[in-house]
Amino acid sequence: MKQWCIGALMVSTLMTVEARAKQDTAAVNRLSVVTTVFPAYDFTREIAGSAVSVSMLLPPGAESHSFEPTAQDIIRIQNSALFIWVGGESESWVERILSSMDTSGLRVVRLMDCVQTLEEEVVEGMQAEEEEEVAYDEHIWTSPRNAMRIVEQITAALVALDTQNAIAYQQRATAYLAELETLDTAFRNAVASRTHKTIVFGDRFPFRYLAEEYGLSYFAAFPGCSTETEASAATVAFLIKKIREEHIPAVFYIELSNERMADMISEETGAAKHLLHACHNISKRDFDQGRTYLELMNQNVINLREALR
């Protein structure tokens, strides 16, 4: 009996070691995908599932416009099979890095090449920085239609790199595209059901593509890619006046904001304060909880509906 127990234990141990070895081999054989920001990270994990090792350079909770890569980040890019970046002004550091390394074995997807880009816009009352060159809004994924185009390009890249899992990637992408289609419909219905379609941001406005897609007009303190966080008294007064004049029921702020300007406008006007999440980055808590682009954008639909009248 004792010998049988020892034998069974040895068999069990060998099976465990073999299973772990298979897992380790699978992990080693998985494609390594490195992304700069959250949307690309989330889209990739939705398409690839466990077949890919995907990581994000921008730390959760960090300000994307001031991010600088570490030496370890550069090594991660160089050792990856697929590198996905946005391509906007806040990622000018990427061009320097890519030009300094051998990229012959690296597939690169630039998100701003996947869609038709829009220039940053300075609307009435907005406090804008002086720009020597034309600036393009890099928050292209705020339109679900653009998100669909991006997903198609990421899927094509994964299929080209890993034909063995091509069918699985395509099936997962098809299912995910259907969810994005549903999200697009939800936004259209939310806006179509309202008579007045003007929104106010006591913050930056990284929603140029969302506004264009669904016919929204807006007033905001700063353009989407501005590095400013504190508006002038004149800018705040203008936004307060607009809310009062047009009886706008809500003021928005964006993720990772200090919310002070939105608080001030809300207190002065009685307008409700809502988050509209641009998904450029998420908090560490949301990241650890596995929050997704779809979850955040579906909440945006709810908040947008409440802010229109």
pLDDT band at 66 (very low <50, low <70, confident <90, very high): confident
Q: Does the pLDDT at position 202 exceed 90? A: yes
Residue-level pLDDT at 14: 43
Q: Does the pLDDT at position 192 exceed 70? A: yes
Least confident of 19-28, 38-47, 207-216, 244-253: 19-28
Q: Does the pLDDT at position 18 exceed 60? A: no
**Six-digit token string for 115:** 């869609």
pLDDT band at 25 (very low <50, low <70, confident <90, very high): very low
pLDDT, tens digit, for every residue of 149-191?
999 999 999 999 999 999 999 999 999 999 999 999 999 999 9
Q: What is the 3-state secondary structure (H, E, C) of the chain?
A: CHHHHHHHHHHHHHHHHHHHHHHHHHHHHCEEEEECCHHHHHHHHHHHHHHEEEEECCCCCCCHHHCCCCHHHHHHHHCCCEEEECCCHHHHHHHHHHHCCCCCCCEEEEHHHCCCCCECCCCCCCCCCCCCCCCECCCHHHCHHHHHHHHHHHHHHHHHHCHHHHHHHHHHHHHHHHHHHHHHHHHHHHHHCCCCCEEEEEEEECCHHHHHHHCCEEEEEEECCCCCCCCCHHHHHHHHHHHHHHCCCEEEECCCCCCHHHHHHHHHHCCEEEECCCCCCCCHHHHHCCCCHHHHHHHHHHHHHHHCC
Residue-level pLDDT at 207: 97
CATH numbers and ranges of domains, the chain: 28-113+143-184 (3.40.50.1980), 192-307 (3.40.50.1980)
Query: pTM value?
Result: 0.90
pLDDT, tens digit, for every residue of 231-253?
999 999 999 999 999 999 999 99
pLDDT, mean of residues 114-126: 95
